Amino acid sequence: MATEQKHPIKKVNIICAKGAIEDVYATLVMGNGAVMEGIETNLFFTFFGLDAVIKRRMDKLHTAVVGNPALRLPGGMRMPTLLGIIPGMESFTSWMMKGEMAKLDVPPVSEFLDLITAGGGKIYACRLGMDMFKFTKEDLSEFVTGILTVGEFYELAGGEGSQIIFT
Amino acid sequence: MAQKTYAGITVDVNEEGYFNDPSQWTKEIAEEIAKEEGIVLTDQHFAIMEFLRNRYKSGDPLSIRSINHSGVIDVKTFYQLFPGAPLKKATKIAGIPKPASCV
Whether residue B19 is contained in a domain is answered as yes
Rounded Cα distance between A44 and A53, Å, is: 10
B74–A118 C-beta distance less than 8 A: yes
- Catalytic site residue B17? no
Average pLDDT over residues A1-21: 86
Whether residue A9 is contained in a domain is answered as no
Residues in chain A closer than 8 A to B85 (CB atoms)? 36-38
For an interface test with A, the pick among B60, B62, B65 (most A C-beta atoms closer than 10 Å) comes out as: B65
Give residue B44's domain range: 2-93
Residue of chain B minimizing CA distance to A40: B84
* pLDDT tier, B101 (very low <50, low <70, confident <90, very high otherwise): confident
pLDDT over 90 for what percent of chain B? 85
B85–A1 C-beta distance less than 8 A: no
A47 Rama sector, left if φ>0, alpha if ψ -120 to 50, beta otherwise: left
| Domain count along chain A | 1
Whether residue B64 is contained in a domain is answered as yes
Choose among A33, A105, A111: nearest Cβ to B61.
A105
Residue pairs spanning A and B at CB distance below 8 A:
49
Residue A128: φ, ψ to 5°: -60, -45
- Which residues does B10 contact at the CB level (< 8 Å), separation at least 6? B3, B4
Residue A2 has pLDDT above 80, yes or no: no
Q: Mean pLDDT for chain A?
A: 95
Residues in chain A closer than 8 A to B14 (CB atoms)? none
Whether residue A7 is contained in a domain is answered as no
What's the complex ipTM?
A: 0.91
Question: Mind listing the pLDDT tens digit for each residue in B22-68?
Answer: 999 999 999 999 999 999 999 999 999 999 999 999 998 899 999 99
Would the pTM count as exceeding 0.90?
A: yes
Q: Which helix (H) or strand (E) holds A99?
A: helix A89-103
Whether residue A10 is contained in a domain is answered as no
* pLDDT tier, A16 (very low <50, low <70, confident <90, very high otherwise): very high
Rounded Cα distance between A143 and A146, Å, is: 9
Q: Give the CATH number for residue A102.
A: 3.40.1260.10
Q: What pLDDT does A54 receive?
A: 98
Question: Mind listing the pLDDT tens digit for each residue in B89-98?
Answer: 999 999 999 9
Whether residue A166 is contained in a domain is answered as no
B76–A38 C-beta distance less than 8 A: no
Residue A5 has pLDDT above 90, yes or no: no
| Domain count along chain B | 1
Give residue A124's domain range: 16-157
Average pLDDT over residues A62-66: 95
